[in-house]
Amino acid sequence: MATWTWFHRFGSPPWVYGFAARWAPWFGGAAVLAMLVALYGGLVLAPPDYQQKDAFRIVYIHAPVATLSMAVYSTMAVAAAVGLIWRMKVAHAAASACAPIGAWFTVATLATGMLWGKPMWGAYWVWDPRLTSELVLLFLYLGYMGLRAGIDDPQKADKASAVLAVVGFVNVPIIRYSVNWWNSLHQPPTRLVGEADMDWSMVWPLLLMLLAFFLYFGWVLLIRLRAELLRRERNASWVREVVA
Amino acid sequence: MKTGALEAARLVMVRDLRLAFRKPSQLLQPLMFFMIVATLFPLTLTPELSRLRDAAPGVLWVGALLSSLLALEFLFRDDAQDGTLEQFALSGQSLTWMLFAKTCVHWLLTGLPLALSAPIAAVGLGVPAEAMWSVVASLALGGFALSLIGAISAGLTLGARRGGVLLSLLTLPLAVPILVFGADATQRAITGGEIAPPMYLLGAIAVLGMTLAPLAAAAAVRIGLE
């Protein structure tokens, strides 16, 4: 089955270690380049918003990291499921490498959201459905990392945290829906500028920044994955060859 | 003749109930905890019944959640320590069904009594008498969903150090929907609104939990036993 060989190669820690080493600089270079161009486009070229003035520019960080905070959770859950189903060590390593990255994206989303909320809503924190589900997402990440840290046997920790990631993944849409329902009782959700209202000169830096953050995630993930593989396979002969 | 899955589940239920009633003091502890939590709110917030009534859904649900977390620690722990769970897993019977039975018993012994005794706390919080049945119903249904979700975390934390704190950390985010719909149902009951919509959603979560949670719990317990 020639089509499946690529999949099997991903099951081999030394191959993935080398793969990550080859690709990490490309991801990193592209991420930095795209980020610089998008920053110039967003901070200099794009006109100020007619209502929010220059304060809207935080969207160029806030929206991409918010997207990533959820995309990383999905990546983690998929990697965890692959690890559970095909018993792939590399997939478990990738899932565990995702968690701290996703947690930091979530923290960054909350922090930039709070900074944005102060001038726009007059308060650092409002119980908006999106803010609340983001906070719950942070708790999900913390629970995942806590469970991993709490179990001494690495293989047990892999499998138990993988079950948790999958359970959490099933739960995320329900949490999202329930939080929307909950808040609709108190106040209508605060609407930000709709995409259709945005000028193209404002939109392209946003899209480019989103791409940049995806590339950045890929870069950091590959670096963390290499470290994780070295740590896990520290008794394997290939690690001794690589390190020597 | 081989014992069927349902028969095995029934036997587990009978065994768990019998064991629980031999240690009645352990059954009362979550209830007492719930009552104490409900007492603390008037002391810290305000003694005025009209203001307590606004806070009542939150007080009842947070109290119920905390006492259910307290009881969850004992769902699998004793059986894991004395090897009973291992025997369950090796018995050739469906572990999923047996854990589902254990979870049902857990609800019968903690969630249901808590819901039934909630009116005592609710009276003290200024909840009107005509709302009591709805309050009991929402807590009973929500408590069942909580037990199901909690069974997954209880299974996952079997092999973990400091399992108690971790159990709360894992369960609370997953319990958000139950808390939201449950507190909303209680809120509507108190203000005399229509409680059906949040109750349907709670019921949907309970059904989804019945379908998926025992499978996840069985997977978690097997990992813990390896």
Q: What is the pLDDT of residues B17-63, one digit of tens each?
A: 998 888 888 888 889 999 999 999 889 988 888 888 888 999 999 99
Q: How far apart are CA B18 and CA B109, in angstroms?
A: 11
Interchain CB distance below 8 Å, B176 and A185:
no
Residue A187, pLDDT score: 45
Give the separation between CA A159 and CA A165, rounded to whole angstroms. Answer: 10
Q: What is the mean pLDDT of residues A166-171?
A: 90
- Asked if the structure places residue A120 within a domain, the reply is yes
Chain B residues lying within 8 Å of A167, measured CB to CB? 152, 174, 216
A168: nearest CA partner in chain B: B174
Say how far residue A107 (Cα) sits from the centre of its chain. Answer: 11
Above 80 in pLDDT, residue B225?
A: yes
Instruction: Please count the other Cβ atoms lying within 10 Å of the Cβ belonging to residue A223.
Output: 17
Winning range, highest mean pLDDT, from A50-54, A222-226, B25-29, B162-166: A222-226
pTM of the prediction? 0.89
CB B57 within 8 A of CB B183: yes
pLDDT of B191 over the 90 cut:
no
**Chain B residue closest to A129 (CA)?**
B180
What is the domain range of residue A218?
57-243
* Chain B residues within 8 A of A153 when measuring between CB atoms: 159
The count of structural domains within chain A is 1
Residue A117: its pLDDT value, please?
Answer: 82
Flag the least confident range among A187-191, B121-125, B214-218: A187-191
Which residue from A143, A163, A167 is facing B223, i.e. has the nearest CB?
Answer: A163
- Considering chain B, what percentage of its residues have pLDDT values greater than 90? 47
Nearest Cα residue to B136 out of B98, B88, B190: B190
User: In this predicted complex, what is the ipTM?
Assistant: 0.87
Q: Which of B130 and A138 is assigned the larger pLDDT?
A: A138
Closest residue in chain B to residue A155, using alpha carbons only: B223
C-beta separation of B210 from B147 below 8 A: no
User: What is the rounded distance in angstroms from the CA atom of residue A164 to the CA atom of residue A151?
Assistant: 13
Distance of CA A201 to the CA centre of its chain: 26
- Mapped onto helix, strand or coil, the DSSP state of residue B219 is helix
Q: In chain A, pLDDT over 70 holds for what percent of residues?
A: 91
| pLDDT at residue B179, rounded to an integer | 92
Q: Average per-residue pLDDT in chain B?
A: 89
DSSP A48-107: PBTTTBGGGGGHHHHHHHHHHHHHHHHHHHHHHHHHHHH--HHHHHHHHHHHHHHHHHHH
Residue A217 domain-assigned (yes or no):
yes
Contact yes or no for B160 and A147 at CB 8 A: yes
Mean pLDDT in chain A? 85
Question: Is A163 in Cβ contact with B216 (below 8 Å)?
Answer: yes
Cα–Cα separations (whole angstroms), residue B222 to B95, B205, B211: 9, 25, 18
- Residue A29 CB: number of other CB atoms within 10 A? 12
Domain assignment present for A112: yes
pLDDT at A197: 57
CA dist B211 and B100 (Å) reads 10
Residue A41 within any structural domain of the chain:
no
Nearest to B73 by CA among B110, B44, B100: B110
Where is mean pLDDT largest: A5-9, A49-53, A103-107, B178-182?
A: A103-107
Residue A114 included in any domain: yes
pLDDT reported for residue A188: 47
Would A2 be classed as within a structural domain?
no
Report the distance separating Cα B42 and Cα A158, nearest Å: 45
Per-residue pLDDT tens over the stretch A10-47: 888 888 888 888 999 999 999 999 999 998 888 888 77
Cα(B156)–Cα(B222) distance, integer angstroms: 9
- Identify the top-confidence range among A4-13, A26-35, A118-127, B185-194: A26-35
Residue A62, pLDDT above cutoff 60: yes
| pLDDT-based confidence at residue B104 (cuts at 50, 70, 90) | very high
Higher per-residue pLDDT: A6 or A90: A90
Please state, in angstroms and rounded to a whole number, the distance separating the CA atoms of residues A95 and A221. Answer: 10
